[in-house]
Every structure is written in C-alpha cells, then in structure tokens.
Amino acid sequence: MNFFEHRDGEMFAENIKVSEIAKSISTPFYLYSTASLTYQFNQIKEAFRNTDHLICYAVKANTNQAVIKTLGDLGAGADVVSEGEMRRVLKAGIPACKIVYSGVAKTAQEMTFALEQGIYQFNVESEPELYQLSEVASSMDKTADITFRVNPDVDAKTHAKISTGKSENKFGIPWGNVREICQRASKLPGINLVGLDLHIGSQITKLEPFEEAFTLVAGLVKLLREDGHNITRLDLGGGLGISYECNDLPPLPSDYAKMVKRVTEHLGCRIILEPGRFLVGNAGILVSTVVYIKDGEERKFLIVDAAMNDLIRPSMYDAYHEIVPVLESNEEILLYDIVGPVCETGDSFASNRPITSMKTGDLLAIRSVGAYGAVMSSTYNTRKLIPEVLVKDDKFAVVRPRPTYEEIINLDHIAPWLSE
C-alpha cells in the first residue's frame, strides 16, 4: 500500500497535498504517514494472530517519539540498543514490560537502568556481558530474564554492511559455544535464561536465509531443553525487507509467519519479533527542493537542498531510493545526477536517473526513507537537522522542529585558554 500517491498530477501524503505542507515548512523535511505505519503493523499482527507473540519495534529504524507512540498505541513493544533508546521508548509510553534490550556493548550503567525499569528481557551477546549482567543484577537483588543471541553462521544474502549472522560478524554467541555458556548461565546469580535470540541481517528479501537460521535455532532449543534449560521464548529479530523499487517483491508477512510457524510451532515458544524497516521504511518520504540545475560536461546535475547528512543510505550502502517530482508534468524525461550541497562527491542520491525535466524551485520526493533516514542524519557541513512531520489523514504536525543555528553552534564550548 502506498500512502504517498499522485492524484491528478499532485503528490498527496494520505489526504493532504505535499506541496501544501512544503509551503508551511521549508524544505528539506521528512514526512511520515500514520496510515502507513498502522497498515504495516497490522499486517504483522494479523499474520501472527494465532501465535503467542510480541512485536517489538526496532526503534533504531526511526526513533521519533511520535512514530514510536503511534506504533506503541497499536500494541507494539520495543527493541532497543541503548539507554537513550530505552528512555525515548518509555517517554513515548511503551511500558518496560514490553522492552527487549539488544546490543553488543551494554554497559553496567545501562544494565542498571534497564533493571530498575523492569524490562522484559536482555538479549545477551557474549560471555563477558553475561558475567557483567549477573554482577549488576545480583548486586541489585534482581533477576534478569535473558535470551542468548546466537550466531548461526547463515548468509542473509543482503548488503555486507547490514549482514549480522555470519560467524565473522561481531554479533551473537558463536554457535559452538552456546550449550556451554547456557550451562554456566544456569549457575549464575541474577540470571534467568528464558530463550534464544537471533538477528541475521537487514533488508532480507528472501525467506530462505530466515528459514535456514530458524531451523538451526529450533534444533538448538531442543538440545538446550535436553540439557535441562527451560526455554520458553524465541526472539527471531528483524530483517524483513521492503520494496524500494516498484518491481521488488519482498516476502509477504503472511508467508514469513507461515514459515515461522512451520519451523517453530512444535516448540511451543513465545515468538518475539523485532521489525524495524518493515514497519517504518515505506512510511516516510524526504521532500526537497531543486536549488540549481547544472549542466556538467558529461552529466546534468540536479542540485537539491537535501544532502548526504540528511539521508546517508545512498552514499553509505549504494542504496536505491525512488525519486519523484511532487508535481507531475508532461515535460520530456531527462537523465540527472541528483546531488546535495555537501562538499563530497559521495553526496549523491542517484546517478543518471530518468526524471521529467525539472526547474529551480521544483519539489522532489525521495521515497522509502522512513527507516534509517532521520536517525542516521548529522549536522555535517554545519547544516541544520531537518524537521520531521507526521501526517494523519488531512492533518499534519511537526514532530521534530528544525533547530536554530545557535542551538547547533552553541553545543561547542571554547576552551578556557582560548578565550583568555
């Protein structure tokens, strides 16, 4: 479902013209659709309706509290990877009992905070982390419910930078060590082993890698039960891909759910899911204005007011994002390099992209940027972080305003010896 459609040549976000929002908020800005978030969440919920499950939105994909709250109000829990994310999630109203805590470098301070809040589970990624958690929890007279994140050494067949389930990746307990570590965990104070966890990568567009990994983990659950562990939860991570190009056909949540059932149902475990991109990726666009059109010797450059600091995915992962004019026209189609103002050649959103002839001041929409867009932005080149706007039907609200230059510049302090 596309909630950013053109009607009579005008792009709408749900039931409001994108150009109207651009009139009141200067570009560039992120624009999110509530209906899209809701639709995506309900697809997963529906797919797992007959399974005991908890959908923990991986908030790293988009940590705007309005987005978290929209999903939280629909029943989502959260997967967090830092105290900062935990604080945001709690502030947005998701209760601690629906929070799972992932990440390879949880500090004692972060563990203390999570235990004070009473989160649902820690996904422990290494033996040193296990000992640290045992120490922190027992000193607080608490017991931490944990899963071990295991590394099944499965190729997720996605971009190398977002592949996490191969043995050379830093994530999870090495497959061959899991039984031994579980034995040690069962003797530690402050630790209650309740399950296993895995996350093999992101933007996975085939079911096979998931199935291979889940089958391995299901086998491991059996072994651990034979070893006497009471394994009741299986956290399957996130990773379900979305369509970035109109002919991409990622797996349907219903097919993903059927496969999960087939592979894990016999275990009777509660299933935890950590979708990020699937929930928010297609729920966001980035609206930008053409600043200049420059005819290079070999290329035609469309220089826009958004840059790699606002959306790093094309520069960082060579990611493809559809880019469309907000107002359609019957002009001829030209090939453009769509680039930003940052002083790097890598500051490019697309090269040789066919698009109808544009002029200065025209609006463009970069699609599918709801996930890993705003959250990965920076103020590189002392550019202001761009606003985030949430639409619901024919209403919109700025859910993160554009900061002022003072707010950015005053973060620096002149060292005392410099001001003498």
- The catalytic residues are 343
Cβ proximity to ligand LLP: between 12 and 315 the closer is 315
Chain positions 295 to 314 lying near ligand LLP, rule: CB under 6 A, are 313
Q: How far is the CB of 72 from ligand LLP (least distance, A)?
A: 17
Q: Is 278 in the site for ligand LLP (CB under 6 A)?
A: yes
Q: Which is nearer to ligand LLP, 66 or 240 (CB)?
A: 240
Cβ of residue 20: shortest distance to ligand LLP, in angstroms? 29
Q: How far is the CB of 181 from ligand LLP (least distance, A)?
A: 18
Q: Which of 195, 239, 250, 253 binds ligand LLP (CB under 6 A)?
A: 239
Contacts of ligand LLP in 103-162 (CB under 6 A): 162
The residue within the footprint of ligand LLP, chosen from 22, 31, 54, 58 (CB under 6 A), is 58
The answer to the question of residue 199 lying near ligand LLP (CB under 6 A) is yes
The one segment of 18-26, 39-47, 235-243, 389-397 that binds ligand LLP by CB under 6 A = 235-243
Question: Residue 288: which of 254, 320, 324, 329 has the closest Cα?
Answer: 324
Piece of 12-20, 232-240, 292-300, 343-351 that binds ligand LLP (CB under 6 A):
232-240
Q: For ligand LLP, which stretch binds (CB under 6 A), given 86-94, 269-277, 296-304, 328-336?
A: 269-277
Would you say 125 or 337 has its CB closer to ligand LLP? Answer: 125
The 3-state secondary structure of the chain reads CCCCCEECCEEEECCEEHHHHHHHCCCCEEEEEHHHHHHHHHHHHHHCCCCCEEEEEEHHHCCCHHHHHHHHHCCCEEEECCHHHHHHHHHCCCCHHHEEECCCCCCHHHHHHHHHHCCCEEEECCHHHHHHHHHHHHHCCCCEEEEEEEECCCCCCCCHHHECCCCCCCCCEEHHHHHHHHHHHHCCCCEEEEEEECCCECCECCHHHHHHHHHHHHHHHHHHHHCCCCCCEEECCCCECCCCCCCCCCCCHHHHHHHHHHHHHHHCCEEEECCCHHHHHHHEEEEEEEEEEEECCCCEEEEECCCCCCCCHHHHHCCCCCEEECECCCCCEEEEEEECCCCCCCCEEEEEEEEECCCCCCEEEECCCCCCCHHHCCCHHHCCCCCEEEEECCEEEEEECCCCHHHHHCCCCCCHHHHC
**In the complex with ligand LLP, which residue's Cβ is closer, 29 or 372?**
372
Please state the closest distance from residue 171 (CB atom) to ligand LLP, in A.
8
Name the minimum Å distance from CB 275 to ligand LLP.
5
Nearer to ligand LLP, 199 or 400 (CB): 199
Residue 3 is a binding residue for ligand LLP (CB under 6 A): no
List, in sequence order, every residue forming a beta bridge with 355; answer none if it has no partner.
334
- For the segment 77-106, give every residue that binds ligand LLP (CB under 6 A): 79, 102
CB of 152 or CB of 239, closer to ligand LLP: 239
CB of 197 to ligand LLP, least distance (A): 8
Interface residue with ligand LLP among 28, 165, 238, 253 (CB under 6 A) is 238
Residue 368 Cβ, how far from ligand LLP at the closest point, in Å?
Answer: 11
Q: Compose the 361-400 pattern: x for residues touching ligand LLP by CB under 6 A, - for all others.
A: ----------xx----------------------------
- Interacting residue with ligand LLP among 64, 151, 203, 264 (CB under 6 A): 203
- How far, in Å, CA of 330 to CA of 21, rounded? 24
The residue among 203 and 348 lying less far from ligand LLP, judged by its C-beta, is 203
Which residues are near ligand LLP by CB under 6 A?
58, 60-61, 79, 102, 162, 199, 202-203, 237-240, 274-278, 313, 317, 371-372
